Amino acid sequence: GCHQPHELVLELICHRVAYKNKVSLGLQGVQDEAEVRLAGGFIQTKPLLHISVFIDDPRWGLPFASYQLPAQGLELAGLVAVAFIYQMFFFNATGEEAGWRGFALPRLQARVSPLLACLVLNVFWPLWHFFLWMAEGKPVLSLSYWGEAYLTHLSATVIIVWFFNRSKGSILVAGIAHAAANTAFAFLTIPNWRIYDWTAAAAALLLIVIDRMWRKLPADHPAVFPAPGLGSGTIPPQPADQGGLS
């Protein structure tokens, strides 16, 4: 089928990040390169894209997404571009991602694995949206709503963290992934969030397994905050003993 504009945005990210040279990705050998190709291809597939809807083939038995788009052709592309830039520069890259991935994540990854860092971030990320969701009339007093919100954000956290780490700690890449998702949600109707949550969770789980995200990153990784003496195993030099009479 034809690609929607938001899919082209994410495909650009996937090709840029997943097919970088092996040195910048920290890969060793053909096997690791094949794993990255598998991950990149997996994320780009329609049913498991973080910002996509579902398989639009009735043979799979999944619901159709009703694309009630506000325009077509170049006009639609212009609306998507404006929405994306708005999300990118006023919220996601300069706001949320500068804090979550730019500040908090590298400091967490200096101490724990990327997977554990994702779990810690996900405790706070949904709560960050509390007043926004309340203003939008969302059922913020419902436990089931928060359960779904945490599941959705956990998958998104894992995927964005994967992009951040694979791009050598690029806030720009994390912001693009985040803004692309929000732009897609603004234009596309998701008929069944439960199915979306589980397909996104499957994508996140595959990335966890492929990238072994339970393993702590090395201290010299670009996505790890270079705290003095943390994880380096070195002992700071001691001042020389000054001899003589007291």
Average pLDDT over residues 217-246: 66
CA distance 196 to 214: 24
How far apart, in whole angstroms, are the C-alpha atoms of residue 175 and residue 224?
A: 18
The pLDDT score that the predictor gives to residue 240 is 54
pLDDT at 64 over 80: no
pLDDT in tens, 21-58: 443 334 333 344 444 444 444 443 333 443 333 344 44
pLDDT in tens, 157-176: 999 999 999 999 999 999 99
pLDDT at 120 over 90: yes
The Cα-based distances of 203 to 149, 211, 230 in angstroms read 17, 12, 32
User: Rounded CA gap, 3 and 41, in Å?
Assistant: 15
Q: What is the pTM of this model?
A: 0.67
What is the percent of the chain with per-residue pLDDT over 90, rounded to a whole number?
41
Q: What is the pLDDT of residues 79-112, one digit of tens each?
A: 888 989 988 888 777 788 989 999 999 999 999 9
What CA–CA distance (Å, rounded) separates 189 from 31?
38
Q: How many CB atoms lie within 10 A of CB 37?
A: 12
Model confidence band, residue 189 (pLDDT cutoffs 50, 70, 90): confident
Note the pLDDT of residue 174: 92
- Angstrom distance (rounded) from CA 166 to CA 18: 8
